[in-house]
Structure 1
């Protein structure tokens, strides 16, 4: 999938869903966009909506039900925000794991909120190593493939900084 399309048609409406919460937060930043684009490329290439061949992880960001889904739904930093978003889009919390396979905005909101659960600030846009460390710390991938990260990060940085 074209990264410009992902940025414009998936990330932008996802950030709109996050807007208007009780606690104003700036979820939409260049740093957040670079992280989400890079993670989506790393996890699914923005092609696979379910992990191949097991289907255990879902959505472009490859969330597992007992991992990222449960984490976002229960973490103190994200639970209220995701409940508010679920109300806006009329998805029951019990259906999130199923819904993120095809609801790209919900999957992106979940991914952004999972990043928000990390107490450290997002790395600078061009900090490839810091971005990889955040991904490893928060996503805890079973097979991380760090060798692919730099090229995916560069593609995301190029899009966000150069348009």
Structure 2
């Protein structure tokens, strides 16, 4: 796939989310997880940019930074083993610089790391329709964007709900 695209959520589900979540334990593939993955992907990159605009430090549709989400997933006790296995399956040598670089071109690795970052949070995933809890999970506990845009969240969340039919 090109570095920059305009992917409809139906395509994201079929080509990225479905095969990516199939690489993780079945218990991680839930409607709530899919909803968060689609909403966060839209919020972070619009599923358009795999490299942060302005050549910033984030990579992949879920915009992971080497010292942030990549490090977190690779070192958290609940996700490290899954991340190591997924990297091996994707042919990515274990190490933060390698994973970070691969996220820009490997969408399956990116969705796995995004799901694992959500999994690292100790609280349950928010109920479907709880915009504020979903925002808090994304903005305050997991991704913690430097310039959060709360005003766009509900629209992307609704778009994700519609794509999932929930």
TM-score norm. by structure 2 comes to 0.91
**CA RMSD between the two structures:** 1.0
Give the total of aligned pairs: 157
1:90 positional shift: 1.5
Helix, strand or coil: the match of 2:165?
helix
How far apart are the structure 2 equivalents of 1:100 and 1:128? 27
Q: Which runs of 4+ in 1 moved over 2 A?
A: none
Deviation at 1:55, TM superposition (A): 3.0
Identify the residue that residue 135 of structure 2 maps to in structure 1: 132
Structure 2: segments with no counterpart, 5+ residues:
1-6
Paired position in structure 1 for 2:15: 9
Kindly provide the CA deviation profile for residues 131-159 of structure 1, in whole angstroms up to 9, marking residues without a partner as x.
10100121010001000000000000111
* Secondary structure of the corresponding residue to residue 22 of structure 2: helix
Structure 1 residues 58-111: Cα deviation after superposition (integer angstroms, max 9, x where no partner):
000000000000000000110011111111122112210000001001000000
Who is 1:114 aligned against? 117
State whether structure 2 residue 105 is matched by structure 1 residue 102: yes
Instruction: List runs of 5+ in structure 1 lacking aligned partners.
Output: 20-24
C-alpha distance in 2 between matches for 1:65 and 1:93? 13
1:18 aligns with 2:21: no
Which residue in 2 is equivalent to 1:22?
none
